[in-house]
Each structure stands twice: as structure tokens, then as C-alpha cells.
Amino acid sequence: MTQTTETPMVELKGVKKRFGDLEVLKGIDLRVDRGRIISIIGPSGSGKSTLLRSVNNLEVIDEGQILLDGVQVNRPDLKGLAFEKHINHIRQNMGMVFQHFNLFPHLSTLENVTLAPRKLKGVSTSIARELGMELLERVGLADKAQVYPSALSGGQKQRVAIARALAMQPKVMLFDEATSALDPELVEEVNRVMKGLAEEHMTMLIVTHEMAFARDVSDWAMFMDGGVVVEANTPEHLFSHPDQERTQHFLRKHLGTQG
């Protein structure tokens, strides 16, 4: 990827992660510049979700460094409450979208979106409400503001989850297989919202199984397998002329089943 002198929005240096004896990340380096969109593809168990979850410390890495806008995310030197305070602050700058939405079922759609700004940033109820409605408008769900998550479709839930993450005005958005749990006909509405963010130059890290979407929306694509980055390139190159045999094999299988 083009290297610039500006501080990268997200940077990973030699990131390693083990679950017991199994090493799931074997030294990952990655640089994501401001406004860039990176797609991470790969088979199940390749470590791509773990990588994404490590970025906001939902998985604690064993070695290496993760930086957000120049600030180190993992801080092995900080313990207990000091680390808790540090990571809570860092996480307010990162939006995360999960495969299974994880909306708060006891709160209305609007309350899901406004909870964090109200409680964490001290935004007043009326201003939070305005902001929340604006975001719901943006994901096309303003008419569902008072509805509870149990009454929403999967696609609608995920759009609310995106609005909820955006409400904290994050510097970067992390998408962990955001459309994998959706019925095929609902994928498009979520993809549309993500494309909208891309057009606004939101920095995004996207773990996905949607090859066509990854190719369409990202500036850079990474293929991971067995805890390493096998190949990384522009999406045009990676999807059309992959250099590595493992990438070719994966794409043949995946695009074959898709088409």
C-alpha cells in the first residue's frame, strides 16, 4: 500500500496471539491510513476475526503492538483499573459491528444509538436524540426509532448496530462479518450503508465473506490463512490475478460456490 509520512489510523506490528497451544496470529503487520478501507478475507479459522477483535482488545494479544492514530492500544504495562480506563477511552474512538448485531434488546432502537453518547460523553438527552435520529435517518430507519430490536429484521438490526457504533463518532469502524448472519436478500441493505460510509471516507477494517462487496468497496484486500497474511494487494489484483496458490484455491472455491 502507498506509504505516507502521516500517522496511520491503525497500525499492527508483529501481532501474535495464542489460544492455548494454538497460535492463531503468527506475527501480523498492517498499516491502515486515514480514510482507507481494508478488506480481510480468508477461510474459517484463518485468524481474520481474531485479528479484528484484537484491534479493540476484545482479544488480548500476546506479542506485538497495535496503535490507533499513534496511540498504543495494547498496554501490557498497565494493570487493573489503569488499563480499564485506558481501553475504555480507546474504544470510544473505534466502532465495532458484530456478526450477530448484539443490539441491546431492552432498549428501543433510538436508545440503542444514544446510550453511549449520553452515558459516556455526557451528551444531553435532547441533543443525543437529535444525533440518534440523524444517524437512524442515515441508515434508513428513522421510522423505527421507538421500536424494540425484537421487532426488527436482521438487516434492520445490523443497520441500527452500525448507527450505534457511529454515534460515538469513531475514527475507525471495524466490521466483523457484518452480513454473514443475514438472509441473502437482506445483505444488500447493509452493504449499501457500508458503501455510504466508504464514500464519506470513513476508515474501515472489514472482515467479510462477500467477495464482490470486498472487491467493490475496498482500497486494499488481504487474504489470511493459518494465522498469517498470505497475500495483500489492491482488490483488482487480489481478486483477478492472485499471486499465491492458496489465494487462488480459496477464491476459486469461494467464487465458484457464490456464482
What is the rounded CA–CA span in Å between residue 198 and residue 157?
20
What is the rounded CA–CA span in Å between residue 152 and residue 175?
20
| Binding residues with other proteins: total (CB under 8 A) | 30
Residue number with CB closer to other proteins (55 or 222) = 55
Element containing residue 136 per DSSP (H, E): helix 125-138
Please identify, among the stretches 67-75, 94-102, 152-160, 203-211, the one whose residues bind other proteins according to the rule CB under 8 A: 94-102
| Shortest Å, Cβ 10 to other proteins | 15
How many Cβ atoms from other residues are within 10 Å of residue 255's Cβ? 12
- State yes or no: residue 98 binds other proteins (CB under 8 A): yes
Query: 13 and 29 in contact (C-beta within 8 Å)?
Result: yes
Element containing residue 31 per DSSP (H, E): strand 22-32
What is the rounded CA–CA span in Å between residue 33 and residue 6?
8
Phi, psi dihedrals of residue 239, rounded to the nearest 5°: -85, -30
- State yes or no: residue 146 binds other proteins (CB under 8 A): no
- State yes or no: residue 68 binds other proteins (CB under 8 A): no
Site for other proteins in 9-38 (CB under 8 A): none
Please identify, among the stretches 22-30, 31-39, 134-142, 146-154, the one whose residues bind other proteins according to the rule CB under 8 A: 146-154
Strands 63-68 and 10-19: antiparallel
| Shortest Å, Cβ 53 to other proteins | 8
Grid coordinates in use for 69? Answer: 492514530
| Shortest Å, Cβ 217 to other proteins | 22
- State yes or no: residue 105 binds other proteins (CB under 8 A): yes
Interacting residue ranges for other proteins, rule: CB under 8 A: 56, 58, 84-85, 88-89, 91-92, 94-96, 98, 100, 102-107, 115-116, 119-120, 148, 150-151, 161, 164-165, 168
